[in-house]
Structure 1
Amino acid sequence: MPNDPAPIRLNLELIDQAKGVVSAFGTRYATPPSPGESAAGTHFRHVVDHYRALLSGLASGRVDYYARARDPVLENDPEAMEEALSALESEIEALTGRVDEAIHVDTGGPDRGDGDAGWAPSSVRRELAFVLSHTLHHLATIAAIARTLDVALEGPVGMAHSTLVRQSAQGAPVGPED
């Protein structure tokens, strides 16, 4: 469906959920579950980096997920992260009407070299699907970190929309089992 708002809506729902998860961590946001492991804040920063790479690449039509800021403030400051997530919501909402726009994505990373080699054709819709899946993956990891740190989260976190719909249709409890 041309310019279907579903990719935008699903990303906005997930980012809204992420804001609630950031808030739930409170002072444990930057606490790793055990020595040598990444804290929830590190995963959130990584997610924001991918959204920002997508959004910043739209102006040129070239998205480079390898060129990320890796801002340590976002890893350690939950308030800064909540602000970053809110800003993403506004930018994603602005993509209404652009989901079928053609873009290119870097598939070669730092080894790409100059020229067009390593750039693959894509669309805003496809890349919204990618960042959605990528965010779900990291939210699932963050949910595991929350369980380790005894952080209570509301509802199922890190579960695909399709899984939740299927569980609901089957009359099964929605979300992971305790």
Structure 2
Amino acid sequence: MLAQLNSEVLGELSDFLAQLKSEDFADLSPVLKTSSIGQHVRHVLELYECLISQYESGFVCYDDRKRDKSLETEVNIAMAKIRVLQANLLLEDKEIVLKMAVGEDFEMIRSSYNRELCYNLEHCIHHQALIKIACNQLDYITLPDSFGVAKSTIDYVKSLESSIN
């Protein structure tokens, strides 16, 4: 179920990218000022990639990312990466040690694959919300209401609507 939710959110991201003009993907956003939509997409995809590629070792360090420039400048490469990630999300839950840089040292934090999937899901949704703001000026983009909104918020709004009716 958790892998499926992640796959769906990544699918929303891919559907969005399919609409986006290359220059709106790669150029600095006038709304975001210091970053591009592509940089946000790359960041999200590379965290998923870290989790999946480092899964076997049992240690995950999100600081050890490739920072592949093509993921932020080439829409088709980002969409291809999404498909690869979606195909590899369904892994057995197991204990994972999260290695996190803290100043010049590292913290080792006990976690699990499913916990890190939760983190990546929320992280992706958070960046989708930022991307949604950047798209306010792009009148050719159509986004679903769920884009950039946490699943718990969607469920809460639905419960309010059903209590009114």
Whole-angstrom CA distance in 1 between matches of 2:150 and 2:33: 28
Which sits farther off after the overlay, 38-47 or 24-33? 24-33
1:161 paired to 2:154: no
What code does the residue aligned with 2:45 have? V
8 Å CA contact 1:74–1:81 kept in 2: the answer is yes
Secondary structure of the residue that 2:128 maps to in structure 1?
Answer: helix
2:97 is matched with: 104
CA 52–59 in structure 1, closer or farther in 2 if over 3 Å, else same: same
Richer in strand (by share): 2
Paired with 1:105 and 1:32, the residues of 2 have a C-alpha distance of: 32
1:110 Cα offset (Å):
6.8
Cα RMSD of the aligned pairs, angstroms, is 1.7
Q: Does 1:58 align with 2:55?
A: yes
Displacement of 1:30 in angstroms is 1.3
Query: In the aligned structure 2, how far is the partner of 1:151 from the partner of 1:37?
Result: 23
Moved over 6 A (4+): none
Cα distance, 1:109 vs structure 2? 5.1
Give the corresponding residue for 2:27: 31
> What is the 5 A alignment of 1:85-164?
85-93=82-90, 95=91, 98-99=92-93, 101-108=94-101, 111-112=104-105, 118-156=107-145, 157-164=147-154
Q: Deviations over 1:75-115 (max 9, x none)?
A: 0110001000000000103x1xx12x101001235723xxx
How many matched pairs?
159
Distance between the aligned counterparts of 1:91 and 1:125, measured in 2? 14
How far apart, CA to CA, are the structure 1 residues paired with 2:142 and 2:27? 16
Counterpart residue number, 1:175: none
Structure 2 CA distance for aligned equivalents of residues 106 and 139 of structure 1: 25
Question: Using a 3 Å threshold, how does the CA distance of structure 1 residues 158 and 9 change in structure 2: closer, same or farther?
Answer: same
Instruction: Say which structure is richer in helix.
Output: 2
5+ residue gaps, structure 1 = 1-5, 173-178
TM-score under structure 1 length normalisation: 0.83
1:47-99 Cα deviation digits (max 9, x unpaired): 01100111111111000000111111110110001000000000103x1xx12
Using the size of structure 2 for normalisation, the TM-score is: 0.89
Q: CA deviation at 1:118?
A: 1.6
Give, in whole Å, the separation in 1 of the partners of 2:55 and 2:143. Answer: 34
Equivalent pair of 2:63/2:100 in contact (CA under 8 Å): no
Secondary structure of the corresponding residue to residue 29 of structure 1: helix
What is the CA–CA distance in structure 2 between the aligned matches of 1:151 and 1:136, rounded to whole Å? Answer: 21
- Alignment match, 2:10: 15
Identity %: 26
Q: Structure 2 unaligned segments of length 5 or more: list them.
A: none
Moved more, 68-77 or 160-169: 160-169
**Secondary structure, in 3 states, of the residue corresponding to 2:57?**
coil
